[in-house]
Amino acid sequence: MRYGVPTALAALALGLTAALTLTPTAQAGPPPAPAPAAAAAPAQFAHPGVLSSRAQLDFVRTKVQAGEQPWKSAFDAMLASPYGSQSRTPQPRAVVECGSYSNPDNGCSEEREDAIAAYSDALAWYITRDAKYAKKSIELMDAWSAKIKDHTNTNAPLQSGWAGSTWPRAAEIIKHTYTGGWPNQGRFATMLRDVYLPEVINGKPNSNGNWELIMMDAAIGISVHLDDRASYDKAMAIYLGRVPAYFYLASDGAQPAYPPRSTIDTKSELIDYWQGQSTFVDGLAQETCRDFGHTGMAIAATMHVAETSRIQGRDLYPQFKDRFRYALGFHAQYELGAKVPSWLCGGSVTKGIGPATEVGYNALHTRLGVSMENTRKLTEGRRPAGTENHFEAWETLTHAENPN
């Protein structure tokens, strides 16, 4: 199991770090947990509307058809991967058992990877209009909807979040753009409602924050596909409370907010929850000192929800712009090789943020014009971003320089 990039701004390099660093001895007490804003689902959901809108998909299709980069190379890489194989055989299970770090792995990898394959085929269908890809996506979705009944063991909520965030992306494209028919679409929707949604909708308040962010990524996507306004509202409220408790800004106060709905309510518990880190600066994340892999997954899930929310009519990027840009930049500088100061994670970080920057970089830089030099270097230097085989997939293809 992995939990799961980003720009150091010039001001940070010029000494803002010192000005924003607050040690435990300087702390005057815990800040109140931020009150999430009311999260109202749209009166009518936009479809396709999970992670990518029709306008975004049209932009991608135009770029790939014209052979433009980086979209063409990203598309080619997707088709050349095992996820784009037309000979892929789905491997569904009635019960997927996933322990900590996916050990045991009884169907966990197969489920995640079949979901990514279904999404890959759905994207290939939209871009090429070749029905074979739509049919393959449907084959994969139908195989799982005919069989799966439950997720078990300790990682069941997180596994449900990983796969449950990917399935709706595939289903949205196929249901709302493919006219060749999908007879078992209703059964697939029932699978999302009965097998996945109950595992993710209530979150995991005391777990590392990437769990809850990934689970809300799934819950939001499922809610859009099911046109379920009540579940959308519930998931969005959890998300809006978790984001400020996961990514720190100096404006939050002397220490990060306590994770909402959790039992963590003292300074010592909070520092322990933040992996022993007691100096807080703009952009630090709750799992930075754990490793960048889990932090990257959290960043990706956070941006996925923000992107879906924007498609559904509520743009969260202006609200979270500073929190997002600092989080991206803070981690990007160290991923790129900057020296880690002694006050951060004991002077050593575990890198490996994965393909987590593309969506956030596009939203903030391309659409809002925010300068993000380190995030730019990291993102462009790793194109085309592929997949980490869990729930991040082909985001250079779908979101690089996408203005829509």
Closest CA to 217 of 244, 245, 198, 236: 236
This prediction has a pTM of 0.90
**How do residues 350-404 score in pLDDT, each as one tens digit?**
999 999 999 999 999 999 999 999 999 999 999 999 999 999 999 999 999 999 9
Which residues neighbour 383 within 8 Å (Cβ) at sequence distance 6 or greater? Answer: 70, 73, 74, 396, 400
Strands 95-98 and 150-152: parallel
Q: Are 211 and 155 in contact (CB under 8 A)?
A: no
Tens of pLDDT, residue by residue over 78-122, are 999 999 999 999 999 999 999 998 899 999 999 999 999 999 999
Q: 385 near 359, Cβ under 8 Å?
A: no
Q: Count the residues in the chain.
A: 404
Dist CA 90 CA 403 (whole Å): 35
Residue 135 scores a pLDDT above 60: yes
Mean pLDDT of the chain: 92
CA distance 169 to 177: 12
Calpha distance 370→368 (Å, rounded): 6
Per-residue pLDDT at 40: 73
Q: Give the 3-state secondary structure percentages of the chain, helix then strand then coil, rounded to 5.
A: 55, 5, 40
In one letter, which amino acid is 240?
L
Beta-ladder partners of 96: 151
- Which tens digits make up the pLDDT trace of 173-223? 999 999 999 999 999 999 999 999 999 999 999 999 999 999 999 999 999
Taking only Cα atoms into account, the Rg of the chain, rounded to an integer number of angstroms, comes to: 20
pLDDT at 38: 55
The residues pairing with 285 across neighbouring beta strands, listed in sequence order, are: 247
Please state, as a whole number, how many other Cβ atoms lie within 10 Å of the Cβ of residue 139: 17
Percentage of the chain beyond pLDDT 70 is: 90
Give tens-digit pLDDT for 17-55.
Answer: 333 333 333 333 444 444 444 557 999 999 999 999 999
353-373 exposure pattern, b = at least 16 Cβ within 10 A, e = fewer: bbbbbbbbbbbbbeeeebebb
Q: Which residues fall within 8 angstroms of residue 139, CB to CB, at 6 or more apart?
A: 90
Distances in Å between the Cα of 200 and the Cα atoms of 164, 254, 303 are 9, 31, 18
